[in-house]
Chain A
């Protein structure tokens, strides 16, 4: 697992509560943003995306908010479940390249 290297901020929530994970991006030319979930030993799993011409997009239990003025992205997870425990990365795309943020570890307490 991830025991060395980058220290990840951790969000600890009670099962059933809502979670909000935040991300600051850097490139004002980025036109597309994605949230990925990564479980230990697995590849990033697509959760939800949003284009730069939108400020909100909803999926099943998840909502992504985009504030281009302050270059901020957030992921809201409703009724968080133990299976949501993972590291969450935001990614921004400019051209054909994705740049990932540092990640936030979400821990769900039963």
Chain B
């Protein structure tokens, strides 16, 4: 069964450093998403991406965040200068028609 994959599974970085989280969505899907989940809290929407551009973004997704689909398979989330409060699980998701499938997540720890 096709699935969304994410790398790395765990990323530790120092405050102020840039990180890139990577995702490979399901191959025939057209919509791509990033969500985050702070430990013990609910999943929060960050951004949606369709047709090579951002279609919606939340207040969390400020100028420190960017997304890119550099080739036909990868979808990345970049955080330019990480803060302590960026520590969370980051989930990528993709959607064909309706069902949205999530990847296993990357745990980002900012120290």
Contact surface of A with B, Cβ cutoff 8 Å: 2-6, 32, 34, 36, 38, 42-46, 49, 51, 89, 91, 95-103
Q: How large is the interface on B (under 10, 10 to 19, 20 to 34, 35 or more residues)?
A: 20 to 34
How many angstroms between the C-alpha atoms of A44 and B103 in the bound complex? Answer: 8
- Name, among A43, A45, A100, the residue most crowded by chain B CB atoms within 10 Å (CB to CB): A43
Contact between chains at B105 and A43 (CB < 8 Å)? yes
How many angstroms between the C-alpha atoms of A32 and B43 in the bound complex? Answer: 17
Contact between chains at A98 and B33 (CB < 8 Å)? yes
Q: Give which listed residue, B39, B45, B48, contacts A2 with CB less than 8 A.
A: B39
- Name, among A3, A98, A103, the residue most crowded by chain B CB atoms within 10 Å (CB to CB): A98
Contact between chains at B39 and A46 (CB < 8 Å)? no
Contact between chains at B102 and A5 (CB < 8 Å)? no
Contact between chains at B101 and A100 (CB < 8 Å)? no
Contact between chains at B105 and A100 (CB < 8 Å)? no
- Nearest B residue to A45 by beta-carbon distance? B102
Chain B residues contacting A89 (CB-CB under 8 Å) are: 42-43
Q: Give which listed residue, A4, A49, A99, contacts B39 with CB less than 8 A.
A: A4
